[in-house]
Amino acid sequence: MLLDTKKVAIIGGGPGGLTLARLLQEKGVDVKVYERDENKNVRQQGSTLDLHDDTGLKAITAAGLLEDFKKSYRPGADKMKIVNKDMNVVYNDHSDRPIEDFGNEHFRPEIDRGPLRDLLIASLKEENVVWNSKFTEMKRSGEGWEISFENGKTVYADFVIASDGANSRIRKYITDIKPVFSGVSAIEINVYNAEKNAPKLWEMVNDGKVFALEHGKTLLFSAKADGTLTLLIGLKTEENWISHSGIDFKNKKSVLEWFKKEFSSWNTEWQEIFEKEEISIIPRPMYHFPLNQSWKPLPNLTMIGDAAHRMPPYAGEGANQALADALELYEVLISDSFSTMEEAIGFFEKKMCKRASEITEITLQQTNSMHDDNNLKLLLDFFDEALRF
């Protein structure tokens, strides 16, 4: 096996990095995940994840974790309502959603980010996850890398995998290809203890999802098992809108004042989001990488997930593509079909970039549709067509 006697470092403990570590660990590889979070109890932001049969679930199954996943996923969390700006429900599948289950290619079970990370961490040996390890830089050392962290520690690895997300600090060691702005900016808001702090919206979401959209703007809600209501506000903007908007995103009142103006024609009950103090607010400009990106493979370094192919979240593909990367990289690394690491990594990266390009193109089409002036009709037409098959 190509990794015999090699030390492997995975930088970043997201779903892709942890799944890859699990797969390699089970083959006896000397692998460690270096994660910036202080410990495993750090709260996981973001909405629930829906895993797809041919990517996310396939990787979880290959890692021997499907039964653990079944204990942690949230049946029914994929139920959905579509509403207009006045809160009128125009589509609701809560009562007549088709019954699907594992083994059905169309089944997309939902799981919260925290429980998914917990089950992946539990599958790893304790010493294989190194916490409080915020990456700062790497230097070539022999045939591998000397990796430095903010806490002052350095480690050596023969082979490094960047799994450090959309703002990867390691990507620059592989390629100088820059991301492209999608034309959409978003604001992620988490309302904690939402049953108490946003009761009307919590009841409307009803442990599922709500898509509220009209005239090019979107409010996407999802409930989490811990009682958090996650909202993604999306709208078309200039690339530097977040820094030039004049909004203080650390100040709830500042964001609320902007929201009242920007969504002035929307039902005022949407403003319930901002009524209590138990919220977090994170602005997120939406970027993607060029569809034709490629780079020269290296024998001791590669990347997976958002570090390699970030994209907007509107098609729900981010985590699934990261998990697909993990499985495909693992399969290449344990294969006897390649004589060198560079050959194996080149094969993996070419296949990954092709797959990610196709998914990114679909994602951008959906992102544009979601923020088209006629977005409500386009989404309803999409579901109407889907239900015919």
Q: How many CB atoms neighbour CB 355 within 10 A?
A: 16
CA-based nearest residue to 259, from 238, 239, 243, 275: 275
Place of tokens 């009761």: 199
CA-based nearest residue to 216, from 230, 199, 229, 235: 235
Query: Residue 222 — φ and ψ, nearest 5°?
Result: -145, 145
Joined tokens for residue 227? 């009682």
Residue 96: exposure state from Cβ atoms within 10 A (0-12, 13-18, ≥19): exposed
Question: Would you say 336 is a known binding-site residue?
Answer: no
Q: What is the DSSP string of 170-202?
A: SGGGT--PPPEEEEEEEEEEEETTHHHHSHHHH
- Runs of H (alpha helix) within 273-373: 306-309, 318-333, 341-370
Question: Would you say 43 is a known binding-site residue?
Answer: yes
Question: Would you say 373 is a known binding-site residue?
Answer: no
Element counts in the chain: helices (H) and strands (E): 12, 17
Phi-psi region of 5 (alpha: psi -120 to 50; beta: other; left: phi over 0): left
Question: Would you say 306 is a known binding-site residue?
Answer: yes
CA distance 32 to 202: 40
148: CB partners within 8 A, 6+ apart = 135, 136, 137, 138, 139, 154
**What residues are designated binding site?**
43, 50, 113, 306
**What residues are designated binding site for FAD?**
50, 113, 306
**What residues are designated binding site for NADPH?**
43
